[in-house]
Amino acid sequence: MNLYKMYKDRKNRKKIYSTPNYWDTKAEHYNDKSVSMWPNNNLNVLYDVEQKELIDSFINDLKDKYIIDIGCGTGRMSQYFAHKGAIVYAIDFSEKSIDIAKQQNANKNITYQTLSVFQLDYTKHFDIAFTWGVLAIACQNETEVINAIKKIYNSLKEGGELLMLEPIHSSFLHRVLKMDLNTFLGLLENEGFKVVAVKQLNFWPIRILLSYFTIPMFITKPIYWIGQYLMKLFPNSGDYKLIYAKK
């Protein structure tokens, strides 16, 4: 792991994280879930289970539902949705990530396309919209957040559901978008969504400790579970926020 490059990328995140080139390069140099998640794939395995369990608690019945997976990366969640019977339209602005998704997660119920959230042009087409770390990276300011939310809102049928896993922060933890959670939720409400629930994922001190290096599972797992316990004690301590809303 090149620590200097990691530091340099992090320092320049506002310029590079929201560009397809950064994620194309990541797709060339990483493997497995680390392409769109973290370098420590052992931690990614645990996060994958955590995320899917939370998702199931909100949208468990996916049979014949039309889902748009916005910022699908290499197709991890698209494949999961398809296996549960959904018809998935999966988009990402990284062409190389989409290429990997097509190769590794091919499924007749998934349509992949290189497209950004700002290029969405659907009207009342989908039952469910899903994002994972999209708006926090693609949007640089409030205007762009509102634009993205409008695009997502218009793509959903009446009564449609929105499920987001986003690292929304106004602190040093922010990615490209620097915004507090209440402001973000307010923008969703202003554009017509009703926010139903917000949950915390990935206790951030543990995430920082474990995510950047390949650490054996027998070390990663117990530390991860300590973080899960601590996250229950400290409100708003999750790096990612699960936001469930309805149109």
* pLDDT given at position 127: 98
Does pLDDT of 67 surpass 80? yes
Encoded tokens for 238: 């999750």
* pLDDT given at position 25: 78
Q: Which residues contact 64 (CB under 8 A, 6 or more apart)?
A: 85, 86, 87
**What mean pLDDT comes out for the span 114-141?**
96
d(CA 92, CA 117): 8
Which helix (H) or strand (E) segment is 201 a member of? strand 194-203
Q: How confident is the model at residue 179 (pLDDT cuts 50, 70, 90)?
A: very high
Per-residue buried b or exposed e for 81-120, using 16+ beta carbons within 10 Å of the residue's own CB: bbebebbbbbbbbbebbbebbeeebebebbebeebbbeeb
d(CA 178, CA 168): 7
Residue-wise pLDDT for 187-228, tens only, equals 999 999 999 999 999 999 999 999 988 899 999 999 999 999
Q: How confident is the model at residue 34 (pLDDT cuts 50, 70, 90)?
A: low
Predicted model pTM = 0.93
* pLDDT given at position 218: 97
Encoded tokens for 58: 């909100």
Cα angle 112, 76, 199; round to 5: 115
Does pLDDT of 6 surpass 60? yes
Query: Is 86:67 a contact under the CB 8 Å cutoff?
Result: yes
Q: Which amino acid is at 98?
A: I
With 0-12 / 13-18 / 19 or more C-beta atoms within 10 angstroms meaning exposed / middle / buried, residue 140 is: middle
d(CA 159, CA 170): 31
**What mean pLDDT comes out for the span 173-181?**
96
* pLDDT given at position 78: 95
**What mean pLDDT comes out for the span 75-86?**
95
Please report the domains of the chain, with CATH numbers, ordered by start residue.
3-246 (3.40.50.150)
Better pLDDT: 144 or 32:
144
Average pLDDT, the chain: 92
Q: Which amino acid is at 172?
A: F
Radius of gyration of the chain (CA): 17
Pairing label, strands 87-92, 110-114: parallel
* pLDDT given at position 26: 73
* pLDDT given at position 62: 95
